[in-house]
Structure 1
Amino acid sequence: MSKARPKKKHHLPARLNVLFFAVFILFSALILRLGMVQIVQGEEFVKELERTSNTTARIDAPRGLMYDRYGNVVVDNELELSVTYTNPSRATSSTHMLEVATELEKLIDVETDSVTDRDKQDYILLTMTEEERYELMSKEERAQFDDPSEEYRAEVDRVPESAINSLSEQDLRILAIYREMARGYANSPQRIKRGITEEEAHRLSENLDRLPGVDILRDSRRSYVYGDSFRSLFGSTGPIPREHLDYYLSRGYERSDYVGTSFLEEQYEDVLRGQKAVMESITTSHGSQTVERSVNEKLGQRGNDLVLALDMELQQKVEESIEEEMRLAGNSFILDRSAYAVMMDPRTGDILAMAGFNDPAGQDSGNYSDHIGNVTKAFAMGSAVKAASVLTGFQTGVTWPGNSFYDRPIDLPGTPIKRSYVPGGFGWVDDRKALEVSSNVYMFEIAMLMAGCHYPNNCNWNRNSINAAYDEARFNFSQFGLGTETGIDLPSTALGVDGGYQAGGNLLDLMIGQFDTYTPLQLAQYISTIANDGYRMKPRLVREIREPVSDKDEQGAVVQKFEPTVLNRIDMSDAHIQRVQQGLRDVVTGTRGTARSRFIDRPYQLAAKTGTAQVTVNEVEGNNQTFVGYAPFDNPEVAFAVVVPNVKLESRGGRQGMAQNIAQRMLDAYFDMKEERNGPEMVDSPVLEDPDTEEN
């Protein structure tokens, strides 16, 4: 037998043993080091970490510009510097903030007008010692309060009047600064003062290292290049309104952000808002000293620009027309001296100009602009609405083109005698003649027949038939834009006042524009609808949204273009609309036309309707003067409405024909500019918005 071979012994190489031993030693060292870091040096490293702060601030970028339809910048941004205070995320004591405010007062000038008595009481409590505060109330009195806030309010009430009166001007300045600092939110820059001077900026820069939380930031405010022209309709900016705070926070805004708070600024907030700059500040401190500080900045971008339908040169002419007439009017008003005018393109709905003037009785404000009154105030418009009344009669079948009614005084039970302005009446008038001479009785006949009253022999109307006539008349009027939303691109506008269901005599008043009230813009949309062959266009203030570019004389690429929008086509037939259009032309060209003397020789071929609504203010009788129209008659390119409310009667010294005077001036200006344009007139210095005091 062969001899068995011995088995091999498997031995690990010596190198591998050395490697395992080395790994063991390294792991042991690592575990030892981790133990040292976490157990022995853990507290020290936590303190070191706390000495390094990383703060991110988002700085508002300038808002987008606004241009008029011819490329003129009408709303700009004025660049400036602001001093801000940023609360850290951890709680900051009021005493510390007061110390910063005291140092800051030495470096900047601040106004103290906004400081209230409550602010002063809070400030005095803050500067009192504990012993002084304790002396304000007895121990027994304090024991009555379970809630510390109630105890604090009681302390506020105990602050002596003498302490409030003893505050110096320096105290008030410190308080004004502290007040703004306390209004801020954690980690959000709170503006302490906007528009600091160059000297203030230098002083602050030299002392920022000892003013924790204080910084100088680039800022901007709205600049209105043409002064108060169209100013109020551009809108305002300011802090987020409290009632809208949740809405803006849900859309990524910060509590300290400034937003559009009215009119175009509010309507196009998402467009005009810029892309914020981001500033990351990393500070490493050792004890009370700053060892290292670095700032990383990501640049922001201006918001998108708006191109308006507005013609600023025409706007200025319309404002001048109103101001000139108001100057000549003198003491012609029973209430505020005021007037309103709207000019729009009936084919597109473009608002070319919209001006208002209001001089409150007994007040000398120095600035009488009231452009927003065109969309926020409503008036009885008088006979200016009679074109809608005639078309309503056609649509309901109670009258028809060429049909005549006998114009004479109407005596209904329980109603004052109703008549046209000619005491004995006009006799037989058809629809066109009724518009030409402004017959009230023709409109009364339409109203009565709609309610089932065949005056004088068979007037069988009742409450149900009268109410149904109210509904039908208002429905037809609303098709023109009277008493309903105009659709203009603004956040809110007035609808006027619906007088409800009243007596039958008030139904007659409704048909001559002396019951329900409408805004000047609604009146302009109504006449534009007739000029546009029955198509009601959505009024628009903004035509385009464009990207921002660095050169303000140039415009960026189009982001969005707003096309003309038809809101509705009125139910009336083309033949009926054309019949009423001819009646409006007769107002200017007819032998008895109520606007003939003023416009018959004008080359722009006007179609129009005059109006006078009776009003009583403080038992004094007067009237609202109105005038609407469009031109040229054959191819309308501009429609308008002028309202001059609360004018004294002629017998009492009121100036008559003011609405027509204004209309003549602004129409002359419009057609003159078709031949030659000079551009809007610059003002001596732009008007700057103060968003902290602006009435929003």
Structure 2
Amino acid sequence: MRVKQLSSLEKRRIFLVLLTIVLLFIGIVGKLFWIQIAATENYSSHGVNLLKNSVVQRQRALVLESGRGEILDRNLQPMTGKIVKSLVVFPINNDLQASPQQVNQLVRILRTNAESWRVFTKDLKEPQVWSQASGGKPVALTDGQEEQIEALNLPNVKVVQMEDRYPSGMTARQLIGFIGQNPDRVMNLYGADLEKGKVALTTKIGGAGLEKTFDLWLRGIGETSISYFMDAGKRPLTGLDARMIAPNNAFYPVKLVTTLDVSVQRQIEALMDKLKIRDGAAVVQEVAQGDIVAMASRPNYDPTSVDLASKSWSNYALKATAPGSIFKTVVAAAALDLGVVNPKETFTCEGALGKYGFTCWRKEGHGPLTLEKGFAQSCNIVFAKVMQRLTAGQLESFAHKLGVLDEVGWSGKTDTKILLHQLDSEETGQLFGAHTPHDDEGVLMQTAIGQRDVMMTPLQASNMIVTLLHNGKGYSPRVVQEIRYQTDRVMEKFEPQTRKDAEGYVSASTSRTLLSWMREVVTDGTGQGLKDAKWQLAGKSGTAQTMVGKQEKVNQWFIGYGPVATPKYAVSVVIKNTDPTESNKAIPLFKGIMDILASQSNGRQ
């Protein structure tokens, strides 16, 4: 048989076909190599991470720690982020579930019952932390429970350390605030990080309090999670099982070191609850440089389940309300500094002024009184007559000098040139309403006794005392003194800040005079209920009539300092919206707080 010889043209065609096949094969192999090896983390023009997505298909993850910074008190005691041992339950194939005997042992260890466990694990699609109520807080386990659970060697449960951001019994909740989802704020504040994938629209950020004002630092660099790897049949993948995934950075999360004393804060809140204070606030400042030692607000709230409509999360220590007679301190400062009253001059109180329907709280009157005695007895008639000698402008000037119309909390630029207001949503005070005539005599008399349109915050009230104790030149109170890296190296430091006002200052002599008059309030005036306190105290009482709907209510105030000989603390308290027939709780609260501070101070000696 003769074999036909191929022409050169035919040979060339065959060669080209073979070459095409080889090139196609090489191309396919190369593509597979590129997809599976070289481009697993950045495939296609859309940057698809194939490796990540393939893992996600068989990975079930649960966040154990948010990565947010800790909030500490002045003694570095944690106020947020308690670490507890919790049980994580993973959804796995039914064939691999625990035996009835193992389940019985487990529920006994967990101190629950088989039905509760069945309901919890039924139709579980994602990893969940064991809690005995739907949406409830994780159950904290003991070391002994952990050992017993691990001894069972169950395939679908694991004891882990987990962050409880807002633990039960947490104090200063309104000041600390809360975190939550807010896509609009994420876009406005962290748009650049959003584009880079560092945050998501669903990332929880600070919604109120320190969590909000310091969110830029607190939000951290990533979460700690536990991942469980399974195949398509929900069977654990051998060699992978449960793995912890966490940021590898020794500097984070940061520590927010506050000026608060958690022990004092806790005792004050317990006292407020004991006195059954429904609505109110208390502020404690160190006299030395105005630092906030405690700031409590009632009603309380749960930061893990915030009802924004209830306003219970709102910090009443920073909200302006009618001050009543504590505002007479401002009127007295103006009268003394401007010299419109002779210290020996007397005013006669007969219980009523005789016009505008203006009366004194003491219906039968106080008789003849000096301004000093009028301050101690909180006589309305004396202050109405003094106000006749002052102008609205003069009163407003001294209100600014004492800081009761302004935001007084620490504000300024950080080391990284960020403008920061430490206190969230601090309100300004108010002297006159928008449409109130400033030159009306009847209006001015009501204003002089802290009524009509006058508004003040408890922080402004306590800071006014600090200002007087510094001869008229006070501080802008801090609540955070520094931010530290996890290594304790200082990242940002917030130095004490003196208050500056365009109106100037109350004189040192007037400041000293008012402080001595405050002592007389306790020895011979409206604050005699403080005589048996652990320290000698001084201060000023106040009662303001308010309207809630159509009901008349009362704000009860007391502000002051102690101990008198060597003042250490300035305190203000307000109990809001009480019934006019209710007994006064402001003085017992003020006394209780000062006794707490006295005991704490003695304990340190």
Q: State the TM-score, normalized to the length of structure 1.
A: 0.60
Alpha-carbon distance, 1:491 to partner: 2.8
Alpha-carbon distance, 1:473 to partner: 2.5
8 Å contact 2:324–2:543 — kept in the other structure?
yes
2:285 matches 1:354 = no
Match of 1:478 among 387, 391, 400: 400
Two-structure CA RMSD over aligned residues (Å): 4.8
2:475 matches 1:502 = no
Alpha-carbon distance, 1:312 to partner: 1.6
Alpha-carbon distance, 1:382 to partner: 0.8
Structure 1 residues 424 and 659: CA distance shift in structure 2, 3 A: same
- Write the distance in 2 (CA, Å) between the matches of 1:62 and 1:338: 34
- Write the distance in 1 (CA, Å) between the matches of 2:548 and 2:436: 21
Code of the aligned partner of 1:600: K
Provide the residue aligned with 1:492 in structure 2. 425
Structure 1 residues 38 and 518: CA distance shift in structure 2, 3 A: farther
Structure 1 residues 574 and 492: CA distance shift in structure 2, 3 A: same
Structure 1 residues 355 and 33: CA distance shift in structure 2, 3 A: farther
8 Å contact 1:391–1:576 — kept in the other structure?
yes
Provide the residue aligned with 2:255 in structure 1. 305
Code of the aligned partner of 1:506: V
Match of 1:536 among 442, 460, 474: 474
Local SS of the residue matching 2:279: strand
Structure 1 residues 354-382: Cα deviation after superposition (integer angstroms, max 9, x where no partner): 2233389xxxx9xx996843335432111
Provide the residue aligned with 1:316 in structure 2. 266
Alpha-carbon distance, 1:647 to partner: 2.4
- Write the distance in 2 (CA, Å) between the matches of 1:602 and 1:354: 21
Alpha-carbon distance, 1:601 to partner: 4.3
- Write the distance in 1 (CA, Å) between the matches of 2:320 and 2:603: 35
Count of paired positions: 498
Match of 1:655 among 566, 583, 597: 583
- Write the distance in 2 (CA, Å) between the matches of 1:298 and 1:424: 73
Q: How does 1:581-592 map to 2 (within 5 A)?
A: 581-589=515-523, 592=524
Q: How does 1:565-584 map to 2 (within 5 A)?
A: 565-568=497-500, 570-584=504-518
Q: How does 1:192-591 map to 2 (within 5 A)?
A: 220-224=163-167, 227-251=169-193, 253-255=198-200, 256-276=202-222, 299-301=248-250, 302-326=252-276, 337-358=278-299, 372-399=314-341, 401-408=343-350, 409-412=352-355, 415=356, 417-451=357-391, 469=392, 471-488=393-410, 489-496=422-429, 499-503=433-437, 504=440, 505-515=442-452, 516-549=454-487, 556-568=488-500, 570-589=504-523
- Write the distance in 1 (CA, Å) between the matches of 2:34 and 2:323: 73
Provide the residue aligned with 1:624 in structure 2. 555
Structure 1 residues 585 and 235: CA distance shift in structure 2, 3 A: same
Structure 1 residues 72 and 594: CA distance shift in structure 2, 3 A: same
- Write the distance in 2 (CA, Å) between the matches of 1:194 and 1:46: 48
Code of the aligned partner of 1:410: L
Structure 1 residues 404 and 577: CA distance shift in structure 2, 3 A: farther
- 5+ unaligned residues in a row in structure 1: which ranges? 1-30, 86-100, 109-168, 181-192, 208-215, 327-335, 452-468, 550-555, 679-696
Code of the aligned partner of 1:655: S
**% same residue:** 24
Structure 1 residues 426 and 68: CA distance shift in structure 2, 3 A: same
Provide the residue aligned with 2:102 in structure 1. none
Alpha-carbon distance, 1:258 to partner: 3.1
Provide the residue aligned with 1:112 in structure 2. none
- Write the distance in 2 (CA, Å) between the matches of 1:75 and 1:196: 16
- Write the distance in 1 (CA, Å) between the matches of 2:548 and 2:188: 43
Structure 1 residues 257-310: Cα deviation after superposition (integer angstroms, max 9, x where no partner): 33333211222223333333799x9x9x9xxxx999999986244311122211
Question: More deviation in 660-669 or 372-381?
Answer: 372-381
Provide the residue aligned with 2:83 in structure 1. 78
Local SS of the residue matching 2:468: helix
Higher RCO (C-alpha 8 Å, min separation 6): 1
Local SS of the residue matching 2:333: helix
Structure 1 residues 492-547: Cα deviation after superposition (integer angstroms, max 9, x where no partner): 22335652342522322121111222222222222222223212311222223223
Local SS of the residue matching 2:571: strand
Structure 1 residues 262 and 430: CA distance shift in structure 2, 3 A: same
Local SS of the residue matching 2:373: helix
Match of 1:50 among 26, 35, 58: 35
- Write the distance in 2 (CA, Å) between the matches of 1:633 and 1:262: 36
- 5+ unaligned residues in a row in structure 2: which ranges? 1-15, 41-49, 99-117, 129-136, 232-236, 411-421
Match of 1:63 among 65, 68, 71: 68
Structure 1 residues 589-617: Cα deviation after superposition (integer angstroms, max 9, x where no partner): 2xx4111x322344523121011112344
Code of the aligned partner of 1:573: S
- Write the distance in 2 (CA, Å) between the matches of 1:54 and 1:70: 46
8 Å contact 1:357–1:369 — kept in the other structure?
no
Structure 1 residues 268 and 80: CA distance shift in structure 2, 3 A: farther
- Write the distance in 1 (CA, Å) between the matches of 2:140 and 2:380: 63
- Write the distance in 2 (CA, Å) between the matches of 1:217 and 1:33: 60
Local SS of the residue matching 1:75: coil
Alpha-carbon distance, 1:435 to partner: 1.0
Local SS of the residue matching 2:589: helix
Code of the aligned partner of 1:536: G
Alpha-carbon distance, 1:427 to partner: 3.7
- Write the distance in 1 (CA, Å) between the matches of 2:508 and 2:282: 28
Greater CA radius of gyration, 1 or 2? 1
Code of the aligned partner of 2:199: E
8 Å contact 2:177–2:211 — kept in the other structure?
yes
